[in-house]
Amino acid sequence: MKPLSDRRTFLKLLVSSTTLLALGRLGADQLAPLLHAPKGLTPFSSWYVVQIGGTPNVNLSNYVLTVDGDVENPLQLTYEEILSMPSVQVKDTIQCVSDPYFLRAEVVWTGVPLSYILQMAKPSPSAIKVLSYSADGYTADLPIWKAMEPDTVLAYMADGKPLPQVHGYPVRLAVPRWWGYTYAKWVTRLYVTSQNVLGYWESLGYADVARK
């Protein structure tokens, strides 16, 4: 992703020129897979990857998810404990703000509603944000009201299979209707806070309420 200043114009140019190119050269049959027709899931092999650095290798034998901060009941959850919690399936489109047309994938997430985990941890009434920390040093923040929506999930499966390593194994966030930068991969800590903290891209000027 680029600094915000020149990004918009650049993106408009990029998107309109690629759209014209695609429409000009391809017939409807060829265009359909590019557009990832909403009915079909995107195969793992053509799911885009965007990240600030390398892919960390998270070792399950010493993996714990810490839930702490302004909570009454801090948690240390193993992968097994996460897998044993009530789960939901959510059909979703993950989309990167830097090229929403091509950097998108249709995915069915399986995971634990984030609200379930937060309710176990009992946020203080003054809590306003949840900041996720990831194994690659990435951070992302969610307002607590968004974290509590029933389809915001801590996902451990995509399309019925454990998350591919490059897409966040063992667990990542899925935040339907919000930009991809909120979908933190390789999550190791959820920090509940009464401060208005910002994550990595949010602090560089990307929308904090990251509605698409």
User: H or E segment at 23?
Assistant: helix 4-25
Interface residue with Mo ion among 67, 71, 82, 96 (CB under 5 A) is 96
For ligand MTE, give the closer residue by CB, 117 or 210.
210
Residues 42-61 that bind Mo ion (CB under 5 A): 50
Residues 15-44 that bind Mo ion (CB under 5 A): none
For ligand MTE, give the closer residue by CB, 66 or 194.
66
| Rounded distance between C-alpha atoms, residue 69 and residue 208, angstroms | 20
Interface residues with ligand MTE (CB under 6 A)? 1, 47-52, 94, 96, 134, 136, 138, 167, 180-181, 183-186
For ligand MTE, give the closer residue by CB, 143 or 194.
143
Closest separation in Å from C-beta 36 to ligand MTE: 13
The closest alpha carbon to 131, from 56, 207, 186, 196, belongs to 196
152, 118, 188, 55 alpha-carbon torsion, rounded to 10° = 0
| Rounded distance between C-alpha atoms, residue 31 and residue 115, angstroms | 39
The DSSP call for residue 1 is -
Which chain residues interact with Mo ion by CB under 5 A? 50, 96, 180-181
